[in-house]
Structure 1
Amino acid sequence: MTSSMMAASVASAAPPEQRHDQVAGWFRMMVGGDEVTALYDGYVGIDTALLSGLDQQQIRERLDSLFIDSENGVQTAVNAFLVHTGEHLVLVDAGSSACFGPTLGHVPDNLRASGYTPEDVDTILMTHLHPDHVCGLTDSEGNAIYPNAELRVSQADADYWLSEEQAAAAPEDAKGFFEMARNAVAPYQQAGRLETFQPGDELMDGVSAQDTSGHTPGHTSFLFQSEDDDMLVWGDVVHSYGVQFADPGVAIEFDSDQQQAIAARQAVLSAAAEDQHWVAGAHMPFPGIGHVVRDGEGYRWLPVEYGPVSE
């Protein structure tokens, strides 16, 4: 065989089969002296019919302009955030565990992939007690995934979601949300490691609870302040970045008080644009970290750029 024939044979050889596995879902950066690690729990499709305040045609046109496919529901990330303050290892929200389908429930695996273990976490801050945030506190057998952590929940959300009276009075299709919240916090409560807080409380040095209620009665965002930099972990202030940045007046069906949720979103977006602090969102495209900038009468999202972790 001539050299040209050999070259042609090598060139025509098929490549290896395609690989459909993905990199581990974690991303790390520094905010002042705090090390922040975004943890990907997975994704869920949200039907645009759940959004109100614009007609469906306007919503679809806005999403289409951003190349966001909404035909089968908008792919919406579920993120949690691990913050190493130097004195504490804090997990903000815990993901969904097995409460929702096979595309979710990956926070513990991604936490381990990032170099930590669930046993390392000493504090868990809950933005609210919806199942895609709270179910990840326990495993499939109802045991605490974070055995050394103190769980901190807003008093208003605890009074609502952990109340058997509220559950009994809820519509039939909502009763499961109450049960999932109670089951998720149960091992922490039984171990005496469940504590509540009020809006404005300083939860530890450099970490304060910010009232962003409306999505739930006690929905809370957490402001981490370190050296000359700040980050607001805002929970569910925004569900559909393709719609709600341009028009913060668009609500979602899951809001317990839509008008209050709209007011909270408008206030948070305005402050984030004015103060130029980092924000981290549970339902923003992974890693869910970026800045908010003004854009005409609305806002737009400026995601963080990948880069090495500076010390």
Structure 2
Amino acid sequence: MNLNKTLLLPLLAACTLLIAVASQAAAPLVKTQAPGYYRTMLGDFEITALSDGSHPFPIDTVMTHIEASIIKQDLAKADLAQPVQGSINAFLINTGKKLILVDAGAGVLYGDCCNKLLTNLRAAGYRPEQVDEVLLTHLHKDHAGGIMSQGKAVFPNAVLRLSQTESDYWLSASNKAKAPDFLSSFFDAAKAAVAPYQAAQRYQPYKEFGPLDTGIEALPAPGHTPGHAMYRVQSAGQTLLIWGDIVHVTAIQLEHPEATVKYDSSEADAAATRARLLQSLANDHTLIGAAHIAFPGLGRIRQNGKAYDWLPLNYDGTPGTVN
């Protein structure tokens, strides 16, 4: 009897170990990311970066004024290979008096990759009906698609604002007729996106760049689109520049600012705006909110010879004052 116990106990221990190992190996892959929001403070303002998702950016068919061999070289230097995932970021500003969203992602217009902004906004502790204003840098699908869903305003209590020049361009049938064929659906999407805000008399383009709210100023950044805007946010001596589509692919356009994309309304103006801004931002170290730099798209520019480096904002698990 004692011999049987001596043999049985090691056998039972071995079986228990096998069951535990099998149980661990059977755990399914989760296949989800953490909620896509990141919060930091800018003086007295709370800034929340929101992800709408990421999508494969078709560099080989979209980038212009740069040779394929240089693209390959730049991507290799950044340890990247095509297809490169492009982030679609938006930025929520809580001034203490207003809740202001800058850009709203693509919504359903880019397919299953995106349309995550509302989920992430709620995860960040806000509801779409709390948004007082939506400021658009421009009316491209991946910035304005998320303001409308099934013909209704996603932000029902918000005033929608963008530059009058931008509005006039994309809502014009004659401009659509003259534009390249690949932009035709962009005109349709822009018209549909703003329609519920127009119907509710909440569509208020601004005719002149300048102050819009306390601490928020619209600045012209022409080239990517005719009325492309940036938003300078200032509080308690600190500044954030939400620059929209100044840079699409960091690894390429910070190495070669002259590289453009076929979606630029004026490639020459887009390149000139980017060159001017990169030089200025490298000098003053302004914090940047970038639509298409890896989420959360917050960082600064540093000059590196004739090129530039992106310096991501250091992670802060307990949001306080931006350094």
Match of 2:162 in 1: 153
Q: Which SS does the other structure have where 1:13 is aligned?
A: helix
2:77 maps to 1:32? no
- Distance, in Å, in 2 between the alignment partners of 1:162 and 1:234 is 23
Match of 1:23 in 2: 34
- Distance, in Å, in 2 between the alignment partners of 1:45 and 1:118 is 27
Higher fraction of helix: 2
Q: What code does the residue aligned with 1:265 have?
A: R
**Superposition deviation, residue 170 in structure 1:** 2.8
- Distance, in Å, in 1 between the alignment partners of 2:254 and 2:306 is 10
Match of 1:65 in 2: 77
Match of 1:166 in 2: 175
Give the structure with higher Rg (CA): 2
- Distance, in Å, in 2 between the alignment partners of 1:136 and 1:9 is 50
Q: Report how many residues are paired.
A: 308
- Distance, in Å, in 1 between the alignment partners of 2:73 and 2:207 is 40
**Superposition deviation, residue 7 in structure 1:** 6.7
Equivalent positions of 1:195-234 (< 5 A) are: 195-234=204-243
2:293 maps to 1:281? no
Q: Which SS does the other structure have where 1:102 is aligned?
A: helix
**Superposition deviation, residue 293 in structure 1:** 0.7
What TM-score, normalized to structure 2? 0.91
Match of 1:137 in 2: 147
Q: What code does the residue aligned with 1:94 have?
A: A
State the identity %: 37
- Distance, in Å, in 2 between the alignment partners of 1:148 and 1:8 is 59
Any idea what the Cα deviations from partners look like across 1:34-54, whole Å, max 9, x if unmatched? Answer: 111111001121222221232
Q: Which SS does the other structure have where 1:24 is aligned?
A: coil
The unaligned stretches of length 5 or more in structure 1 are none
**Superposition deviation, residue 196 in structure 1:** 1.4
Any idea what the Cα deviations from partners look like across 1:87-137, whole Å, max 9, x if unmatched? Answer: 110000011111111101111111111100000000110000001111111
- Distance, in Å, in 2 between the alignment partners of 1:33 and 1:94 is 23
Q: What code does the residue aligned with 1:155 have?
A: Q
Q: Which SS does the other structure have where 2:230 is aligned?
A: strand
- Distance, in Å, in 2 between the alignment partners of 1:150 and 1:181 is 16
Give the counterpart of 2:108 among 98, 109, 116: 98
- Distance, in Å, in 2 between the alignment partners of 1:30 and 1:48 is 34
Match of 1:78 in 2: 88
What TM-score, normalized to structure 1? 0.95
Match of 1:43 in 2: 54
Any idea what the Cα deviations from partners look like across 1:60-91, whole Å, max 9, x if unmatched? Answer: 11111211121xx2210111110101111000
- Distance, in Å, in 1 between the alignment partners of 2:85 and 2:32 is 18
- Distance, in Å, in 2 between the alignment partners of 1:244 and 1:171 is 24
Give the counterpart of 1:111 among 121, 124, 127: 121
Give the counterpart of 1:122 among 124, 128, 132: 132
Which stretches of structure 1, 4 residues or more, deviate above 4 A after TM superposition?
Answer: none
Mapped contact 2:57–2:86 kept (Cα < 8 A): yes
Q: What code does the residue aligned with 2:80 have?
A: I
Match of 1:242 in 2: 251
Match of 2:68 in 1: 56
Calculate the aligned-residue CA RMSD, in Å: 1.5
Q: Which SS does the other structure have where 1:254 is aligned?
A: coil
Mapped contact 2:163–2:209 kept (Cα < 8 A): no
